[in-house]
Amino acid sequence: MAKKKNISDQNILSFYMDYVLEHGAPPKSVYMFAKTNNFEESKFYEYFGTFEAVEKRIFRVLFEDTLKLLNKSDDYQLFDARNKLLSFYFTFFENLTANRSYVLFALQQHKNALKNLSVLTELKTGFTNYIASLDIETLDLKEERIDKIQGRALQESAWIQLLLTMKFWMDDTSTSFEKTDVFIEKSVNTSFDILNITPLKSVIDLGKFLFKEKIQMK
């Protein structure tokens, strides 16, 4: 049988997901993987260097597909940061659910939890950049270095929240993952309530006022 010639990176991602679900393990070699799917081994290396790179790309594609769906919505464009993030979560977890068998395999295949998390590195890059793009308001302390630290801390805490939500979803046995939906709504809203800097701004403004008045009174 003639080998398939028009192989794309998307084909390889699909072949890989099907393979691990059918065999319960990654392919032994690129040669065997290509032979099983009837394409030249060299085609694999046009897009990926290793199977680990394939695994990382799959999670990046799940993230990118989520953003594509969201950006097609006129309503989404009008949302504030809180509702944009909620929309992201609900859409992203719909994508995870559509591929649940593979996601569970990918995140549970190694006994070492850190090894499992390594497949999420490209997802983390995309997600933290997305959080930065939301322009979530933080305190303006007029100090560039501190503002950068605030931004990084916000992105890292958002990433940890996403990981916790993924773990909750993985363990969720409720119908249609209803408990995960509740968890998403409560955790995202709580995060934004904690980040609500309006009361803190008022305290700082009051402090500035009292400090200024005290100086003038002297």
Same domain, 30 and 89: no
On the 0-12 / 13-18 / 19+ scale of CB atoms within 10 A, 114 is exposed
**pLDDT tens-digit series, residues 145-198:** 655 666 688 888 889 999 999 999 999 999 999 999 999 999 888 887 766 544
Interacting residues of 141 by C-beta distance below 8 A, sequence separation 6+: 147, 150
**pLDDT tens-digit series, residues 44-53:** 999 999 999 9
Same domain, 194 and 135: yes
66 in any annotated domain: no
Same domain, 184 and 117: yes
Interacting residues of 99 by C-beta distance below 8 A, sequence separation 6+: 17, 62
Same domain, 27 and 111: no
Same domain, 38 and 86: no
Q: What is the C-alpha to C-alpha distance for residues 38 and 206, in angstroms, rounded to an integer?
A: 71
Same domain, 21 and 85: no
52 in any annotated domain: no
Same domain, 41 and 88: no
Same domain, 32 and 95: no
54 in any annotated domain: no
Same domain, 110 and 175: yes
61 in any annotated domain: no
Cα 116 to Cα 37, 67, 107, distances in angstroms: 26, 24, 5
Tally of residues, the chain: 218
Same domain, 41 and 85: no
Q: What is the C-alpha to C-alpha distance for residues 5 and 38, in angstroms, rounded to an integer?
A: 9
215 in any annotated domain: no
**Which residues span the domain enclosing 16?**
9-45
Interacting residues of 107 by C-beta distance below 8 A, sequence separation 6+: 116, 117, 119, 166, 170
What proportion of the chain, given as a percentage, has pLDDT over 90? 65
Same domain, 100 and 181: yes
Domain count of the fold of the chain? 2
End-to-end CA distance of the chain: 94
202 in any annotated domain: yes
Task: Give the single-character DSSP code of 80.
Answer: -
**What is the pTM for the complete model shown?**
0.84
Mean pLDDT of 17-43: 95
Cβ contact 138:195 at 8 Å? yes
**pLDDT tens-digit series, residues 109-149:** 877 776 788 999 999 999 999 999 998 764 444 555 655 66
